[in-house]
Structure 1
Amino acid sequence: MLGWWIIIAAQSPTELDASATTILAKWEVAPEGINWIVDLVEAGKAEQIKYGGYPNRYAVRATHALPVLADKLLSDTFPTTNDKMQPTWLKNVELHPDHIALCSPDQLLVIEAWDQS
């Protein structure tokens, strides 16, 4: 695996339509860059609704996903090594603060993680 292309959209899974999607953020990340989403699923704060990498799709409330954007992307604290001390990377970050600001905490979001293999 080469990494992931992550997209967070302000729509529920049933509303998802590429022509009408409100993108909150998107970025490319190393393989371990999906771990925060897996952590949300394991904590019961998100649901994986599609898997296989083309894409993996998750449903999550804004209250759980948006703080991760602030902590990991906006503050530039994405880890630079993984637990095996291998370099990680984060690139092509695109944030839409105006769209993010319009989200209520209980708004259902879709996160897509596309395998870049």
Structure 2
Amino acid sequence: MSGWWTIISTETPEQMADMTQVNKDAFLATWEAGLFGADWIAQLCQQGKATQLTFNGFPNRYTALASDIVPLLQAGIAEALDGEFPQGQLTGWPGCITVHKNRIAVCEPDQLLTIEVWDQS
């Protein structure tokens, strides 16, 4: 099945580059989504709210401020439609969502987060 696996972390892009050394306690959320499940981050890039660092799908790596990401996570993770997280609509692959609300709650607005989006095709 084609789709995306997303990880949002407080670790730096450099720390995330070596997945064997990644601190999973720094993950704020992870989820799998279908074909259009990466549209939300592309839209944030177009709006100037995220920066894409790598783009080969293994992974696509981005950075964005917590002030732009945390509200999306708090609204509820779902398959992105038109770059939004519609509340109450589950991801394309139900049961594959992990959200650490306590970690999300302590993010500072100016904290830089790393977002990795892995191609699952």
1:76, distance to aligned residue in structure 2 (A): 6.5
What residue is the counterpart of 1:47 in the other structure? Answer: 51
Hey, what's the Cα distance between the residues in 2 that align with 1:40 and 1:62? 12
1:15, distance to aligned residue in structure 2 (A): 3.8
Structure 1 residues 66-107: Cα deviation after superposition (integer angstroms, max 9, x where no partner): 111122428862657xxxxxxx71430000111111210110
Unaligned runs of 5+ in 2: 79-84
Hey, what's the Cα distance between the residues in 2 that align with 1:90 and 1:106? 31
Unaligned runs of 5+ in 1: 81-87
Matched, 1:59 2:69: no
Q: Normalized against structure 2, the TM-score is what?
A: 0.79
Hey, what's the Cα distance between the residues in 2 that align with 1:103 and 1:77? 21
What residue is the counterpart of 1:29 in the other structure? Answer: 33
Task: Quickly say closer, same or farther: Cα 1:58–1:67, change in 2 above 3 A.
Answer: same
Amino acid in the other structure paired with 1:13: P
Give the total of aligned pairs. 110
Hey, what's the Cα distance between the residues in 2 that align with 1:112 and 1:67? 18
Q: Normalized against structure 1, the TM-score is what?
A: 0.82
Amino acid in the other structure paired with 1:14: E
Whether the 8 Å CA contact 1:59–1:109 is kept in 2: the answer is yes
Hey, what's the Cα distance between the residues in 2 that align with 1:50 and 1:36? 16
1:6, distance to aligned residue in structure 2 (A): 0.4
Whether the 8 Å CA contact 1:78–1:90 is kept in 2: the answer is no
1:13, distance to aligned residue in structure 2 (A): 1.6
Q: Please report the RMSD computed on the Cα atoms of aligned residues, expressed in angstroms.
A: 2.3
